Amino acid sequence: MKQKEIVYVISDSVGETAELLVKAVSAQFNGGHIEIKHRSYVQQIEDIEDVIYLSKQSSSIIAFTIVIPFLKEYLDKRALAEGIIAIDLMSPLLDAFSQTFNKAPKCEPGLMRKLDANYFRRVKAIEFAVKYDDGRDPHGLKRADIVLIGISRTSKTPLSIYLAHKGLNVANIPLVPEVAPPDELFEIGRNICVGLVITPDKLNEIRKERLKSLGLTAQVNYANLERILEELLYAEKIMKRLGCPIIDVSNKAVEETADLILEMLKKRLVGYHE
């Protein structure tokens, strides 16, 4: 009876990298009828010994992605002593990086998964920002990390997207005198909300340019200075009622305003933990 062909995939993290590479290699041998056995999150010498014992019982190879130095060295030594083929899938490339770029690896397991987790968190945050942009669905306010409020053209949407790239769930609500803010706005914590204001002249200039880009006359009420003053006064009343922090975005880039908001958020979190 033909003995099973086994590859033991060992990792101090999940082991997905090693498994994918083993599958790619095994596919080159008659369709890859190789049995892959996992041992993930290896942290102790005893874990190594278990795999060494099992590997001795069959025709097998050990393929590993272990970056914790003492575990890697122990596995290398034990495999050599027992005559087992153990392939280190990480070290050759780690060494090449170190020599070429003159940097030392962190030797910390699971870093790629942390990067992936951050990436997916940002994607979800961007989806959140789009879904709850411009007051589309006030039910999302209670799930937001930050809620931006302000009249039209105070950078609410670009700020929401920029902060979403930092992994924050951001919703924004436009303040319009003729439209009452949603009830949910007054049910969230005041420190979650950030008011955005701008000088009347600056806003008048921005709105005129916006109308011009749309092919509309600058005389439209949207860019009328009296209308702008009315909107700003209304927004100020709402912000005072909420007691939220207020940022003047008149001469600030989106990045500058975002940094101020992030600093506010950091102080809020510190205060929460103290």
Band of the pLDDT at 154, cuts 50, 70, 90? very high
- State the pLDDT at residue 112: 66
Q: Would you identify the CATH topology of the domain 117-273?
A: Rossmann fold (3.40.50)
Render 31-52 in DSSP notation, one character per residue.
TT--EEEEE-S--SHHHHHHHH
**From the DSSP assignment, how many helices (H) and strands (E) are in the chain?**
9, 8
Mean pLDDT of 42-67: 89
Is the model's pLDDT at 234 over the cut of 90?
Answer: yes
Identify which has the larger pLDDT, 102 or 273.
102
Give me the residue label for tokens 């590997």: 55
- State the pLDDT at residue 113: 65
Is the model's pLDDT at 40 over the cut of 90?
Answer: no
Mean pLDDT of 227-237: 96
| Mean of per-residue pLDDT scores for the chain | 88
Band of the pLDDT at 239, cuts 50, 70, 90? very high
Which CATH architecture is the domain 5-109 placed in?
A: 3-Layer(aba) Sandwich (3.40)
Backbone φ, ψ for residue 194 (5° rounding)? -130, 125
Find out whether 100 and 92 touch, Cβ atoms under 8 Å: no
At 39, is the secondary structure helix, strand, or coil? Answer: strand
Indicate the range of 89-103, 133-147, 235-249 predicted with least confidence: 89-103
- State the pLDDT at residue 192: 92
Q: Where are the domains of the chain?
A: 5-109, 117-273
Is the model's pLDDT at 11 over the cut of 80?
Answer: yes
Indicate the range of 25-34, 58-67, 169-178, 196-205 predicted with least confidence: 25-34
Question: Inter-axis angle of helices 111-131 and 156-164, to 10 degrees?
Answer: 160
Which of 261, 151, 254, 257 has the alpha carbon at shortest distance from 200? 151
Which of 174, 177, 267, 178 has the alpha carbon at shortest distance from 230? 177
Cα of 89 vs its chain's centroid, Å: 28
Mean pLDDT of 65-70: 87
Tokens describing residue 232: 């700003």
Give me the residue label for tokens 């609410």: 156
Is the model's pLDDT at 245 over the cut of 90?
Answer: yes
Distance CA 106, CA 102 (A): 13
As a whole number of Å, the end-to-end CA separation of the chain is 67
- State the pLDDT at residue 273: 38
Is the model's pLDDT at 272 over the cut of 50?
Answer: no
Distance CA 233, CA 214 (A): 27
